[in-house]
Structure 1
Amino acid sequence: MFRRRESVPFSFVSEADRFRSNVTPPPRERASVSQMAARSLVGLTIVAGLVGSLVLGMPALSPQSESRPQQTEAATGR
């Protein structure tokens, strides 16, 4: 294939993966006590909802046993 020997006008695009910024981002603010309490309360509510749905849903997932007693072949054989 034909290759051009000219310099690429946008050579900085090929060097983008090696670019390092000299600007540092500002430090993150620490969460207040009320924000941490709210986050933990939301997390506990989600976990409690999942556990509750699992507890309430387990009877529906279990195989149902028949309410009438099973008859053996000896009892039904006439």
Structure 2
Amino acid sequence: MFHRREPIPFAFIAEADRFRSNVAPPPRQRASAGEIAGRLLLGLTVVAGLVGALVLGMPALSVDRAAGHTQQSEASDRR
């Protein structure tokens, strides 16, 4: 940040971007085995839901190759 030639009130605010704290944050706690298992189970549930939706939706997304053929009803077959 550039320095101004004229004095400004509250100069500490202008130089706040250069401030570095000497206080370190506390170390992160490690996740317990139950938390890891819960996250894994949640992830597997989400993935299984996406795969299931894809498997169930594939017939609707597929192109019907028999669309050019006309379907005949049973009533027209009996004539």
Q: TM-score, normalised by structure 2?
A: 0.69
**Equivalent position of 1:34 in the other structure:** 34
Deviation at 1:41, TM superposition (A): 0.5
Aligned-residue offset at 1:5 = 5.4
Correspondences of 1:1-78 after superposition (within 5 Å): 6-66=6-66, 69=69
Give the gaps of 5 or more residues in structure 2.
71-79
Tell me how far apart the structure 1 counterparts of residues 50 and 18 of structure 2 sit (CA, whole Å).
Answer: 45
Long gaps (5+) in structure 1: 71-78
TM-score after normalising by structure 1? 0.69
Identify, as 1 or 2, the structure richer in helix: 2
User: How many residues are paired up?
Assistant: 67
Supply the distance in 2 between the matched residues of 1:52 and 1:42 (Cα, whole angstroms).
15
Give % identity. 64
Structure 2 CA distance for aligned equivalents of residues 5 and 21 of structure 1? 27
